[in-house]
Amino acid sequence: MTVAILSGATSGALHAVTGPDHLLSLGPAVLRAPSVARRIGLLWGAGHALGTLLLALPLLVLTQVVHLSFLASAGNRVAGAALVATAAWSWRSSRTRASSGEPDSRSPLWVGLLHGLTGASALLLVLPGALGGSTLRAVVYLIAFAVGSMLAMGALTQALGRVGGHLEPRLVAKVQRALLIGALLIGTSWLVVG
């Protein structure tokens, strides 16, 4: 059981900090609000973890029927669409707030939930460990994956927020634009390629 917990938490943490879509999705919001960066990351991570669990747990039951390659392709396309939508929303939100001074109304929890539900690539990272033993071991692995990814996302966004807090506003705006463009490019490629 210890191996399931450690490997699940490590896989979740690595998934959280190495996924370019995570940084691209959270970067603009965290740079706008460095004082709440950890909270944004933890909420987003909690949503992502919940979405991953909502998708992975039923799949444990369906693994004998569902072809994972089809699921991965469809999931990547949906994740691409979600990333493009998030980037477009961030772009619109940043332009609206710049002129009106109003805060971002997106909840990081709901954006993370959507991302977790659409993240077939995360699911494929989770399944080998989850399917390698008993059902209890699989569930423990999935929960550890979710917790590891949430905590790592909180740490990543806190670090990004600290860096952003020391940058000039003009540079922060440029970095935000670069992250949004990156999100659009990756999201579009996932839509096209799957």
pLDDT in tens, 166-176: 889 898 888 88
Has residue 47 got a pLDDT over 80?
Answer: yes
Whole-number pLDDT of residue 147? 93
Q: Residue 139's pLDDT band (boundaries 50, 70, 90)? A: confident
Q: What is the DSSP letter of 104?
A: P
Chain CA centroid to CA 56, Å: 15
Percentage of the chain lying above the pLDDT 90 cut: 10
Segments forming the whole domain that contains residue 104 = 2-193
Q: Residue 59's pLDDT band (boundaries 50, 70, 90)? A: confident
Q: Are 39 and 153 in contact (CB under 8 A)?
A: no
Q: Which of 173, 21, 36, 41 is nearest to 103 (CA)?
A: 36
Label residue 64 exposed, middle or buried (CB < 10 Å: 0-12, 13-18, 19+). exposed
Over residues 110-127, the pLDDT tens digits come to 878 877 777 655 565 566
Average pLDDT, the chain: 78
- The C-alpha atoms of residue 1 and residue 62 are separated, in whole angstroms, by 23
Total domains in the chain come to 1
Distances (CA, A) of 104 to 61, 88, 92, 186: 39, 13, 10, 23
Burial 93-129 (b: 16+ CB within 10 A, else e): bbeeeeeeeeebeeebbebbbbbbbbbbbbbbbbbeb
pTM given for the model: 0.72
